Amino acid sequence: MMVDASRKAISDAPPSDADAARTMRLGTGTSLVILLLLLVAPLLVKNFIVFQLTTVLIYGIAILALNILTGGSGQFSLGQSAFYALGAYTSAILIEHAGVNYALTLPISGIVCFAAGFLFGLPALRLSGVYLALATFALAVATPQLLKLGALEPWTGGVQGLVVDKPDAPFGLPVSQDAWLYYFTLAIAVAIYIASVNLLSSRSGRAMMAIRDNEIAASAMGINVALYKTLTFGVSAAITGIAGGLGAIAVQFVAPDSFTIQLAIALFLGMVVGGVGWLPGSLVGAAFIVFIPNVAESISKGLSGAVFGVLLLVVIFLVPDGARQVAQACRSVIGRRKG
Partner 1 sequence: MTEDRLAQSHNPLLSVRDLSVAFGGIVALNGVSFDMQRGHILGLIGPNGAGKTTLFNCLSRLYQPSKGDILMEGASILTRPPYRIAEIGISRTFQNVALFPNLSVIDNVRVGTHSRSNGNIVSDSLKLGQVRRAEAALERKVDEILGYLGLRGVAHAVAAELPFVTQKRVELARALAAEPKILLLDEPAGGLNHDEVHGLGELIRRIRKEREMTVLLVEHHMGLVMSTADHVVALNFGRKIAEGTPSQVQSDPQVIEAYLGNKNR
**Complex with partner 1: residue 170 or 320, whichever CB lies closer:** 320
Residues written for the chain: 339
| 3-state DSSP helix/strand/coil % of the chain, to nearest 5 | 80, 0, 20
Give me the least distance between CB of 17 and partner 1, in Å please. Answer: 5
Give me the least distance between CB of 174 and partner 1, in Å please. Answer: 33
Q: Which helix (H) or strand (E) holds 249?
A: helix 225-251
Classify residue 254 by its DSSP letter.
E
Residues that bind partner 1 (CB under 8 A): 10-11, 15-20, 195-196, 198-199, 202-207, 209-210, 212-214, 216-225, 231, 235
**Angstrom distance (rounded) from CA 122 to CA 138:** 16
**Complex with partner 1: residue 10 or 104, whichever CB lies closer:** 10
Extended strands (E) in 87-197: 162-163
For residue 322, give the amino acid letter: G
Give me the least distance between CB of 116 and partner 1, in Å please. Answer: 16
**Complex with partner 1: residue 198 or 262, whichever CB lies closer:** 198
Give me the least distance between CB of 243 and partner 1, in Å please. Answer: 16
- Residues 45, 46, 52, 55: what is their CA dihedral angle, to the nearest 10 degrees? 80
The residues, ordered by sequence, that sit 6+ positions from 87 with a Cβ below 8 Å of its Cβ are 109, 110, 112, 113, 240, 241, 242, 243, 244, 245, 247, 248
How many Cβ atoms are within 10 Å of 225's Cβ, its own excluded?
16
**Complex with partner 1: residue 297 or 321, whichever CB lies closer:** 321
**Complex with partner 1: residue 66 or 238, whichever CB lies closer:** 238
Give me the least distance between CB of 87 and partner 1, in Å please. Answer: 18
Give me the least distance between CB of 227 and partner 1, in Å please. Answer: 9
**Complex with partner 1: residue 231 or 266, whichever CB lies closer:** 231
By the 8 A CB rule, do 181 and 54 touch? yes
